[in-house]
Structure 1
Amino acid sequence: MVRLREVIGALEEAYPTGLAESWDAVGLACGDPDAVVQRVLFCVDPVEATVDEAVDFGAQLVVSHHPLLLRGVHGVPADDPKGRIVHRLIRSGIGLYCAHTNADSAVQGVSDALAAAIGLTVRRPLVPHAEGAETGLGRIGELPEAEPFRDFVNRVAQNLPTTAWGVRGAGDPERPIRTVAVCGGAGDSYLATAAAAGVDAYVTADLRHHPAGEHLARADVPGAEVPALVDVAHWASEWPWCQQAADIVAAALPDTVEVLVSTRRTDPWTVHAGAASDPGRALA
């Protein structure tokens, strides 16, 4: 029989907790390390929908990317959204383990999974922990051959799960794209880093109006060239990691633990109204 602590051991060998940022809350959020585990569900968000899926699957453990209790709490009452999840997990005999910024920075982590999903060969971290280190945030990779930016944006859209948010591109549609930086999750704090890396495009999530606009405006400076931008839904950018983590556990504990990657779309956006084909028409 496999114990929960053995599953945790496999996860922490791949995603060492020492790589987590100081503000993060990674590790076992609830559950008995000595509990027997036969089935594990992997997801981005520990929310009602994924707990439903875990219960239906008969899981004894949920492994999520995002922590349930990231900020300090003073209680988990059952009439609170997060408290309700904790109570339901415990009543159902399901543990919850979170691998967040440690999975972001690890070798073969979240951004590696994103890069692989869109067909990149990874060369190095975007923000290495130290010079020459393989660990760090984001990744820089290459496509097999250059393609127009419009095609690259379509490539990203076709290889990530569909969301109401969609995939947006900012840049010359005909610009050739070969080298690409990626950062799973919110990555606009690394816009300048991506530009300094000299890549052709930067793929991340949650890009805001002003940082994106200011980044693109730097292209007007003589001699400057900034990456084109691809903005995807936060959940979609991190979802490929779920299969990566599931494969790690399945390989470490073969024929003893059954794994399932959640297919519940937990992206909060649910409706998208298409843009006008003629932007000027919206101002008429």
Structure 2
Amino acid sequence: MPVLSEVIAALDALWPPERAEQWDAVGTVCGDPDASVTRVLFAVDPVQEVVDEAVELGADLIVAHHPLYLRGTTTVSAGTFKGRAVHTLIKNDIALHVAHTNADRADPGVSDALAGALGLRVIGPLVPDPTDPTGRRGLGRICEPVTPVTLGAFGELCAKRLPATAQGVRVAGDPGRTLRTVAVCGGSGDSLFDEVRAAGVDAYVTADLRHHPASEARLQSPLALVDAAHWATEWPWCEQAAAQLDEISDRHGWGLRTHVSRLVTDPWTAHAAAPVTEHHS
């Protein structure tokens, strides 16, 4: 069986930390480099519920997409919710490793996993990485449905294929419009509207769309929007990442056991729909 430093080296080869945004906090948060690793849990959020799941599983390593400490801290006191997670990890000899924007840009990356979950064929990156001579890495993906599909049907497909959340899936545009090209970006994607418009796609699937950017995007072009929960658009990466580590484990004879957390760690817990009312003239 491998030690943590060997597994981390393999993960860093998949998602090199130097490709993360400068503001990001990726890499190993805690863990003994010489400790043996037999079981790995993949999750979007390194929250206490996921840490407790790792303890129950007997996992030696959590690979999370979101950082535990994105900004600096002066304490890991167990009196804080993040500090309590660190204490639980260390007491149970569980390492934590984060792959965030470096996994977003990877080939395959977070948006490839999202496209795959939605049955879309990837054409290329939405925002190509200028350091990649193959033109495959970068943020977001430009995709095609296997066959043209209406926006209404595609919205229903997204709701069916992505993990269920309280938010569900919101759609902006004519439900009868036919989609032939779709851009996707796992996680918050309204900062990429300029690139989406430049790509000339029919629809854009992402998360965390705010009122004004979404409204302006709709007014400037006939672009249709599909807005899903942040957690739901990034969760497919966990399955993709686990499969990548499985392949590495098989190649090296490590015998690792990988698991994907299915805990819904999206912060929203309920959706109250407005009652349907009849309007009489």
For the aligned pair, the TM-score class normalised by the smaller chain equals: over 0.9
Deviation at 1:279, TM superposition (A): 8.9
RMSD of Structure 2 on Structure 1 (CA): 1.5
Q: CA deviation at 1:249?
A: 1.0
TM (norm. structure 2) is 0.95
Match of 1:257 in 2: 256
What runs of 5+ residues in structure 1 fail to find an aligned partner? 220-225
Residue equivalent to 1:177: 179
Query: 2:129 corresponds to which residue?
Result: 129
Consecutive unaligned residues of structure 2, counting only runs of 5 or more, are none
Are 1:211 and 2:213 counterparts? yes
SS at match of 1:239: helix
Moved over 6 A (4+): none
* 1:10–1:248 Cα contact (<8 Å) kept: no
Q: Distance in 1 between matches of 2:30 and 2:23?
A: 19
Corresponding residue for 2:60? 60
Distance 1:103 1:279 in 2: 48
1:25 partner SS: coil
Alignment of 1:193-208 (within 5 A): 193-208=195-210
How far does residue 278 in structure 1 lie from its aligned partner after superposition? Answer: 5.1
In 1: Cα distance, 2:93 partner to 2:81 partner: 19
Q: How many residues align?
A: 275
Report SS of the residue matched to 1:28: strand
For 2:271 and 2:39, locate their aligned partners in 1 and report how far apart those are by CA, in whole Å: 35
Shift of 1:133: 2.4
Superposition deviation, residue 280 in structure 1: 6.5
Q: 1:251 to 1:24 in 2, by over 3 A?
A: same
TM-score of the pair, normalised by structure 1: 0.94
Counterpart of 2:161? 159
Distance 2:8 2:190 in 1: 31
Matched residues in 1 for 2:157 and 2:124: separation? Answer: 21
User: In terms of mean alpha carbon deviation, does 47-56 or 123-132 score higher?
Assistant: 123-132
Show CA shifts across 1:25-44 (max 9, x none).
11100001111000000000
Q: In the alignment, is the contact (CA less than 8 A) between 1:203 and 1:229 conserved in 2?
A: yes
> Secondary structure of the residue that 2:146 maps to in structure 1?
strand
Does the 8 Å CA contact 1:146/1:178 hold for their aligned counterparts? yes
SS in structure 1 opposite 2:148? strand
Matched-pair identity in %:
56
